[in-house]
Structures are given as C-alpha cells and as structure tokens.
Amino acid sequence: MVEPIEHEIKNIAIPKKREKRILIADDEPRILRLYQAWLEHECNYVLTVRDGEKCVNVYDTETTIHSKDYFDIVILDQKMPNMTGVEAAKEILRINPSQRIIFASGNLEKSLRQSISKLGKLVEVIEKPFLIEELENMIKQTSVLEKLENINDSVQKTDEDKFKEGMLLLKKSELINSDKNIII
C-alpha cells in the first residue's frame, strides 16, 4: 500500500528564506507602514518606532532580551522628534559597535558628513526620495557596506578623503539601482 502524499510532504525539509530582523525609526506613519508591509512581504521581521529615543529604548530592550546582535539592520530617518537619527545611531553603536545602520535622509552629503564627525565612521545612506526596491536591494546586498567598512578601516585616509570616497560609492550605487518604480 502506498502512503499518502501528505506524509511524504510532511517529511520533506523545505529550507526557509533567512529572515532579517529590522528596526526602523521614522516619524512618518505612512512611510513606516510602507516599509513594514514591503519588508515583511520579503520575509523579514520588522519593528517600527516613530522617534529616535523610542528606537534606542527598543533596541536596548530587544538586544538585552535576545542577544547583543538582535537586529541585522537599523534604518533611521535623520529628522525625528526627541532624538535625531545620528543621535540614535550614536547610542545604538555604543550598545553594539558593529550594528549595521542605514540612514534614510533627504541630504546624502550632510548625512555622510555627520556619520563621520559624530559617529567616527561612514554608514550606509539612502537619499530620499528613494524607491522601496532600492532600500530592499541595499538590505540584501552588502557590497556597499563592505566597501564603506574598508574605507573606515583605512588609517592613512583623512576624514575628508573617507567622505569623498563614501559619496562617490553611494552616488554610484544609486545610479545602478535607478530603474525601479515605488518611490518613498
């Protein structure tokens, strides 16, 4: 007698897509809903908050409960009430110096300069307005992050040299991903 197909299906190990844990802080509820809906659709676990101070509190609580690297990525709007994105990033990096942070900003140059001067390193920046697919691509592809880390690790380069290289890298990555269609 042949066993039912359901039995065979139950015993097959289907690999799951690796879920990224993402914390997003933005003061625009509409944008947070869009981020969350899109990124959860892509099999990510997403927590959202509406200001920088709340972001730091959630980050601290979650990393204490789960582990020191609970979030794969923290996405921060630059302008938020109670605490700016840079201020929140500074606190998060104090808790976990290796945390991956992406700034969502209307001013790429200003955000990159602030990341060097206030955080002591370049972080990923996506310039608003951007396409949601560009953010998704930035999350999935770590090549820009790796190149920024190489720039950060260079002791021979001045902050200005690092800024120029970071700007060139981020501008170049934006041009590569400019054929999408959902704009934030």
Alpha carbon separation from 75 to 58, 61, 154, 179 (Å, rounded):
13, 17, 25, 22
At 17 the pLDDT is 57
Q: 33, 54, 65: which is closest to 74 by C-alpha? A: 54
Q: Does residue 10 lie in a domain region?
A: no
Dihedral sign for Cα 183, 19, 55, 124, please: negative
Residue 83 lies in a domain: yes
In a domain, 51, yes or no: yes
3-state helix, strand, coil in the chain (%, to 5): 50, 15, 35
CATH number of the domain where residue 75 is located: 3.40.50.2300
Q: Is 128 part of any domain?
A: yes
pLDDT at 8: 44
Asked whether residue 88 is domain-assigned, the answer is: yes
- Whether 8 is in a domain gets the answer no
In a domain, 2, yes or no: no
181 backbone dihedrals φ, ψ, rounded to 5°: -140, -5
Listed in sequence order, the residues at least 6 apart from 70 whose beta carbon sits closer than 8 Å to its beta carbon are 21, 59, 62, 63
Please check whether residue 42 lies inside any domain of the structure: yes
Per-residue pLDDT of the chain (184 residues; tens, 9 = 90+): 444 444 444 444 444 556 889 999 999 999 999 999 999 988 889 999 999 999 999 999 988 777 666 899 999 998 998 999 999 999 999 999 999 999 998 888 888 888 888 998 999 999 888 888 888 889 988 888 898 999 989 888 898 888 888 888 888 876 555 444 433 4
Coil/strand/helix, residue 91: helix
Q: What is the pLDDT of residue 176?
A: 56
Task: Name the pTM for this structure.
Answer: 0.81
- The residue assigned the tokens 């990510």 is 44
Residue 143 DSSP one-character state:
H
Domain that holds residue 132: 18-176
Amino acid type, 127: E
Tally of structural domains, the chain: 1
